Copies of this chain bind each other. A is one copy, B any other.
Amino acid sequence: MVTKQLLKGLPEDADLRRADSPAREIFSDVANKWALLIIEALGERTLRFSELRNEVEGVSHKMLTQNLRMLERNGLVDRKVHPTVPPRVDYTLTEPGRALRTAVDAICGWTHQHLGHIESARGRFDA
């Protein structure tokens, strides 16, 4: 019954512009600094909470848990609790998560490629 969406992928992003659409809601969740950095940091690896904390420099304990919960809720990361003591919790990207990661990779690559250009643009603008 959702076969309508299987036709093609270009014009349907129109509803991303609708403030109340489900797509916009998901986009708003995902399109934020910490979420994207976490996804990028995870990559193909499985990392513990404390490892993620080190990988994503600057993220607070609170922001990390908060974003991990959100990503888990949306099915982008898998959360595996080991009933050991002390506790150990492993995070891994799910299939949708890895799919999104390729897009995040593109943004990261873009950032590095245009670093010089952007910094000089800033210099010009600030003058």
Task: List CB contacts (< 8 Å) of A67-87 with chain B.
Answer: 72-75
Q: How many copies are assembled?
A: 2
Interface residue SS majority, chain A: helix
B-side contacts of A126, CB under 8 Å: 73
Number of interface residues of A (CB under 8 A): 57
> Contact between B118 and A26 (Cβ–Cβ < 8 Å)?
yes
Give the interface of A toward B (CB within 8 A).
Answer: 2, 5, 9, 12-13, 16-19, 22-24, 26-28, 30-33, 36-37, 40-41, 55-58, 72-75, 96, 99-100, 102-122, 125-126
Instruction: Name 10 extra pairs, CB < 8 A, besides A13-B109, A31-B32.
Output: A9-B109, A13-B105, A16-B40, A23-B112, A26-B111, A27-B33, A31-B31, A32-B32, A75-B121, A75-B125
